[in-house]
């Protein structure tokens, strides 16, 4: 975990550090907020505390990196709100820590990096090549070696690498694509926002053979799951 501590990153700008807003104090405040809002898993809180979220967004926004908000990352996309990342991570690892996790929607790479600190390997798929390139560069700089990424339409999952112990969608569709359900192991867990804009719900499914246990959790707001490549 020491590789995630602040001082090691040459990419963190002096101004961002100087402002004190990307400091440990700002991160601790974020952790208090997450706790107050119901995130209880200490494994998740520890990873979020040590993850340099300011490196996953544009430098101009770095001062806001440890606010509990989604922020723009360009190309009409957003880095998810820390609470949502924490919640989805907690839901994915609650039963047991999955070895192989598929993420649809790499975006900034933040959710993938948080997961990679907790699970065996993260497989992440993004349809916008430019975002994927940036995220890959960041994974390299942060020396995160257990993330594999692919430029593709996540609606088809990553068939050659499946099945996965857990799947997480970070973009919302009206339903979960069938191909993704087929790439989940028996006993696996799938977490996704589903529903039309303004009415999305965070849902967790657990697969038990052909039966799917469904839990409707809470209202959320994600960018849409699109088709094709960006
Ligand atoms: N997990 C990201 C959240 C990014 S927002 C983070 O932590 O920053 C959701 C992302 O899903 C966007 O980058 C968007 O381009 C991507 N996306 C939307 N539809 C997709 C699809 N069909 N396949 C792959 N990625 C998709």
Q: In the chain, what are the domains?
A: 3-219 (3.40.50.150)
Q: Are 68 and 86 in contact (CB under 8 A)?
A: no
d(C-alpha 42, C-alpha 28), whole Å: 13
Q: Where are the alpha helices (DSSP H) in the chain?
A: 14-18, 24-36, 42-50, 82-93, 110-116, 129-141, 178-182
By alpha-carbon position, which residue is closest to atom 13 of ligand 1? 107
Rounded distance from Cα 70 to ligand 1 centre (Å): 13
Per-residue pLDDT at 55? 95
116-165 pLDDT per residue, tens: 999 999 999 999 999 999 999 999 999 999 999 999 999 999 999 999 99
Rounded distance from Cα 18 to ligand 1 centre (Å): 32
Q: Per-residue pLDDT for 52 more than 90? A: yes
164-180 pLDDT per residue, tens: 999 999 999 999 999 99
- Tokens 């907690």 sit at which residue? 90
**pTM beyond 0.85:** yes
For residue 22, name the pLDDT band (cuts at 50, 70, 90): low
Rounded distance from Cα 74 to ligand 1 centre (Å): 12
Question: CB 168: neighbour CB atoms within 10 A?
Answer: 27
d(C-alpha 116, C-alpha 110), whole Å: 10
Task: Give the binding-site residues of ligand 1, using a 6 Å CB cut-off.
Answer: 77-80, 104-105, 107-108, 110-111, 125-128, 131, 153-155, 170-171, 223, 225-227, 230
When pLDDT is averaged across residues 41-66 and rounded to a whole number, the result is 95
């Amino acid at each position: 975990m020491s590789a995630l501590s602040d001082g090691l990153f040459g990419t963190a700008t002096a101004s961002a550090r100087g402002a004190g807003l990307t400091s440990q104090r700002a991160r601790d405040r974020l952790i208090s907020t997450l706790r107050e809002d119901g995130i209880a898993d200490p494994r998740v809180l520890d990873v979020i505390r040590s993850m340099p979220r300011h490196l996953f967004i544009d430098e101009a926004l770095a001062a806001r990196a440890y606010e509990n908000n989604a922020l723009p990352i360009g190309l009409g996309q957003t880095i998810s709100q820390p609470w949502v990342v924490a919640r989805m991570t907690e839901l994915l690892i609650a039963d047991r820590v999955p070895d192989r996790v598929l993420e649809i929607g790499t975006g900034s790479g933040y959710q993938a990096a948080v997961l990679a600190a907790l699970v065996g390997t993260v497989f992440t798929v993004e349809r916008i090549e430019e975002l994927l390139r940036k995220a890959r560069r960041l994974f390299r700089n942060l020396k995160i070696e257990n993330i594999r990424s692919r430029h593709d339409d996540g609606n088809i999952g990553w068939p050659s690498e499946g099945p996965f112990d857990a799947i997480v969608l970070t973009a919302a569709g009206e339903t979960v694509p069938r191909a993704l359900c087929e790439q989940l192991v028996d006993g696996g867990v799938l977490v996704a926002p589903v529903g039309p804009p303004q009415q999305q719900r965070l849902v967790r499914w657990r697969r038990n053979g052909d039966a799917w246990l469904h839990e409707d959790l809470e209202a959320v707001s994600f960018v849409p799951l699109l088709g094709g490549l960006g």
